[in-house]
Structures are given as structure tokens and as C-alpha cells.
Structure 1
Amino acid sequence: MTRSAAGRPQMSVEDFEELAHAAPETVRLEFVNGKLEVKPVPDGDRGAIIMWLLERCMQQRSELRLYPEQGLKVESCRTGRARADGALVPRDHFVGQGEWVDPDGVLMAVEVTSYDGDTDRRDRRERRDGYAAAGIPVYLLIDRDACEVTVYGEPEKGKYRTRNSYPYGSVVEIPDPVGIALETDQLKKYVR
């Protein structure tokens, strides 16, 4: 994730966190590339996809939990703040932490594309790069536009070294440290 066009953040991380804390619950703010952003509220299908994934993770790895809408400190120096659609961690990993948690220990970040003009920039590029820079081992992108699931892995120097895409209906093998397989046929019913 790169800085804002002027090369300087719009505000400090501390100012952003204060603003985000004061915002109504119906507004979901993020601080990406030094820029304040409003994350789209999930539609029903997007929420159903996250619940589908949560169930699959718990069935195959009962010691792990998928936290929806978890605030993460991202980018290389933890200067960004992103609300992942899902963050997979060991049970109780986030206990005692605040709204914006350090990504150490997060095994997988998950995003489900939204139907808006910013999804290409936000989900396919900025989030991918921010999660890689934070060292999150796996980034799972459920892409409703392309009807495919993309698994990114092996973060190194702010980029993921591996990328594997699978059409809906395929069995998706998510590598270690996650180590689960997803039968994605059900995702077909969540496409507009």
C-alpha cells in the first residue's frame, strides 16, 4: 500500500483511531495508504459468504476462529488500519486487544469483493499488498465479479509470492498454516 497522492498521510494514525472510535456504528472507517476511507457495509450475500467460510473453518480446524470485521494494523510499519471481512486466528487470540490489533498471529485475512467501483483497487490490490506487508501468511479473496477464489501466500518484501485462482465449484486447497480445503460450489448462489 502506498501513501496518498501527495506522499503524506491525511492525518496521523492516532487522529484516525480517535475519529474511528467516535464514528457511529453504522459507519466503518479505515485508514489505507495514509488516506481516510469508508468501507462499504456488507450486503446479505457477502455476509452469507463469510458465515459459510466461518463454518468451514470451524469444521476443519476447531481450534481456530474466523473473526468478521476485525480491525487490523496493516502495511509494513503498521501505519494502516483495515477492517478485514475475516481474520483467521487461534481461539482467544484477540482477547485483551483493542479495536485495532497487531497482525502477528493472524493466519489468514479474508476479503469478499463488493459491487462498487473501488473493489479492484481496494480488494485486489491495496488490501493484498497491505496484508502481505504485515506478514499475514495467507490472503483469501472471494471475488464475486470473477466468480473465483484466489489464494495468495508466502509474503515477502510486501508482496505475496504465490497466487492461485479457482473458479467457483472447485475444491480450493488453502496452504499451511491454515491447511483446509473449501468445496466452493455453494458460492455460485451468492452471485448477482
Structure 2
Amino acid sequence: MTPRTGQRPQMSVEEFEEFERHAPESVWLEFIHGKVVVKPMADGNHREMIAWLQRVCMQHRPDLWLHAESGLQTEEYRKGRARADGVLVRVGGLKGHGEWSEAEGALMAVEITSYDSDTNQRDRVEKPDAYAAAGIPVYLLVDRDDCTVTVFTDPEGGRYRKQANSAFGAPVHIPAPVDITLDTEPLKDLAD
């Protein structure tokens, strides 16, 4: 698969995985649309947002678990590698999976924006397309820049057909297969 820019991929998926295995622990690498991307390490508020979402999911859906910082095979033909801030699966859904899990069992991918120059392209453009192409039913974007939560649904043809955007503090319904409503008021205190 060639990236949308029309450029050739920097390397093959196999070369990326080998390269990633030798990267320092302080660096997270992703392979999106044929290019290597450095993902910034999460800050404290970012980690607290994931912990909050884990608690909420567990309270509403004890049959599911939100795994933090999970590697996923994404894009068409599983040619991409994304390290999602969170991946919601059925309890035990990652058993037997390696570093880069197939996206088939993922019910929702979660990203929380970082305060870096690449977050717009990565979290708002490339990740939704990669997750949709992999067939992940829901993509949840917690956007700290504009204090909103966006729910992307109905993946088709490498894009999510629907998206609903709400300000922090508003209730946010995540439709089936997740089917929970988030009280996003706690995110207001974590937006910094």
C-alpha cells in the first residue's frame, strides 16, 4: 500500500517491526501510511485520562477491558502499525496476541491528543483512516487542544462515515458494540 501522498513507503512492515524492536524504551514508534512516526510519551494528565476511561468502561461493561498503549495492525491488509493509547476488547481478547495485535477483536481504539507538532496529522487525520481501514467499529478521540470528545463510527472504505463531537462536560454516547455513555465532566480537570 502506498501512502496517500503518492510517495513510496519508507520500509516494509517487516523492516519496521525489526527496527522498532531495537528502538530505545523511551521512544514509541508507529508505522502509518508507509512512514515511521515517533509517538510522544504520555504525560501525567494523558495517563489519568486513560485510567479514567478504563474505570468507566469497567463500571459499565465488565465484560470488556481497555488496554492502554496497545500495538495494533492497522490499515488495509494490516500494513500499518499503530500504538493506540487504548484498545477496548472483550476480556481475554488479546490472549495469545503478540506485540502488534490484529484489529479484528478491537471494539474501539482510543487516542488522546498530545501537545506536539504532529498531533493534528497523526490523531485527527491518519489514525481515523488507519483504524477505519482495519475495521475497528469505534474510534474515540479525546482532544485536549479544544476540550472535546469525538466519536467516529461506521467504518466503510477506509473512512468513518459518522462522527459526533461534544465538549468536555457533556454526556457522550458511544454506540454499539461499546454501548456506554460517558460523563465527561472529569476531563475538564485533566485538560491541561
Question: Which residue pairs with 2:173 in the alignment?
Answer: 173
Residues in 1 aligned to 2:104 and 2:12: alpha-carbon distance in whole angstroms: 22
How far 1:21 sits from its partner (Å)? 1.2
What's the CA shift string for 1:14-58, capped at 9, x where partnerless? Answer: 011011112222111111111111100001000000000000000
CA contact (8 A) 1:4 1:10 kept: no
Residues in 1 aligned to 2:128 and 2:164: alpha-carbon distance in whole angstroms: 13
Residues in 1 aligned to 2:190 and 2:42: alpha-carbon distance in whole angstroms: 13
Instruction: Report the RMSD for the aligned CA atoms in angstroms.
Output: 1.3
Residues in 2 aligned to 1:4 and 1:160: alpha-carbon distance in whole angstroms: 17
Q: Name the TM-score, length of structure 2 as normaliser.
A: 0.97
Aligned amino acid, residue 142 of structure 1: V
Residue 62 of structure 1 aligns to a residue whose secondary structure is: coil
Q: How does 1:97-176 map to 2 (within 5 A)?
A: 97-176=97-176
Q: Which moved more, 1:4-13 or 1:162-171?
A: 4-13
Aligned amino acid, residue 170 of structure 1: A
Question: Which residue pairs with 2:17 in the alignment?
Answer: 17
CA contact (8 A) 1:4 1:35 kept: no
Aligned amino acid, residue 111 of structure 2: E
Gapped regions of structure 1 (runs ≥ 5): none
2:83 corresponds to 1:83:
yes
Aligned amino acid, residue 60 of structure 2: Q
2:74 corresponds to 1:74:
yes
How far 1:127 sits from its partner (Å)? 0.1
Aligned residues, how many? 192
CA contact (8 A) 2:73 2:81 kept: yes
Cα gap change, 1:125/1:2 in structure 2, threshold over 3 Å: closer, same or farther? Answer: farther
Question: Which residue pairs with 1:52 in the alignment?
Answer: 52
Question: Which residue pairs with 2:42 in the alignment?
Answer: 42
Cα gap change, 1:2/1:116 in structure 2, threshold over 3 Å: closer, same or farther? Answer: farther
Residue 89 of structure 2 aligns to a residue whose secondary structure is: strand
Residues in 2 aligned to 1:140 and 1:2: alpha-carbon distance in whole angstroms: 26
Residues in 2 aligned to 1:2 and 1:108: alpha-carbon distance in whole angstroms: 25
CA contact (8 A) 2:71 2:83 kept: yes
Gapped regions of structure 2 (runs ≥ 5): none
Question: Which residue pairs with 1:183 in the alignment?
Answer: 183
Q: Name the TM-score, length of structure 1 as normaliser.
A: 0.97
CA contact (8 A) 2:148 2:168 kept: yes
Aligned amino acid, residue 68 of structure 2: P
Residues in 2 aligned to 1:53 and 1:112: alpha-carbon distance in whole angstroms: 11
Aligned amino acid, residue 105 of structure 1: G
What's the CA shift string for 1:110-141, capped at 9, x where partnerless? Answer: 00000111111100010001000000000000
Deviant stretches of 4+, over 6 Å:
none
What's the CA shift string for 1:117-173, capped at 9, x where partnerless? Answer: 111110001000100000000000000011010000000011111100010100101
